[in-house]
Structure 1
Amino acid sequence: MGFDNSNIIQQLLGNVIFHPFMFNLGKLNIFVLGIEKSKNLKWNYVGERYKSIFQYKFDGIRSIFIQVLKDEEYVVQIFTNSTLVRTYSDIDPDKIWLQINRLSNYPEKKFLN
């Protein structure tokens, strides 16, 4: 299909402003679906369009954690078996991760890198 041709790839991505990417944080694979820069140190300078997703166990069951920043709040939604089981929101991401009480070996702001 030509995806090994850098000219074709450049043409396809020419007008793309953002594309999702993944980074590893320890054993977690975090998929970043949206991002924006801000001046908010509490959010590690990540802006309102930030959205990421990763899998981790919640109450012993593999679950999906979705993180978003909206309306000046940091929100974490946890889905298990396609059902929303918990939502946390606060202006301070550190407080949310203390409430979630999971992944304590990761600094809270690392999730916003």
Structure 2
Amino acid sequence: MNTEHFKPIRLDTQAELTRAMQQPAFKAAWDELEESYSALNELLRARKQAGLTQEEVAARMGTTKSAVSRLEASIRNEKGSPSFATLRKYAHACGKQLIIKLI
């Protein structure tokens, strides 16, 4: 592929997000999804910090890799609400403790 005709464009995602957040409809949609995504990010961060794969988390939880994959996807897609017990098992499998705070 000849790339001589193309100039790379730098995308400043933070600037774009700041600009988009000024639009009330975008901000409302962002705020609505923020809880789900922050929960997912915490789960993924815990797994990565523990250096575990989905398969390893599944073994520690006594379940299957596909169940762990569905759990992570269900939070991202808002297609389910994992139980407190399931989230606690996931946290413990990652060497963490599940704490819920209302702020």
* TM-score after normalising by structure 1: 0.30
Which structure: greater helix fraction? Answer: 2
Which structure: greater strand fraction? Answer: 1
Structure having greater relative contact order (Cα 8 Å, sep ≥ 6): 2
Greater Cα radius of gyration, structure 1 or 2: 2
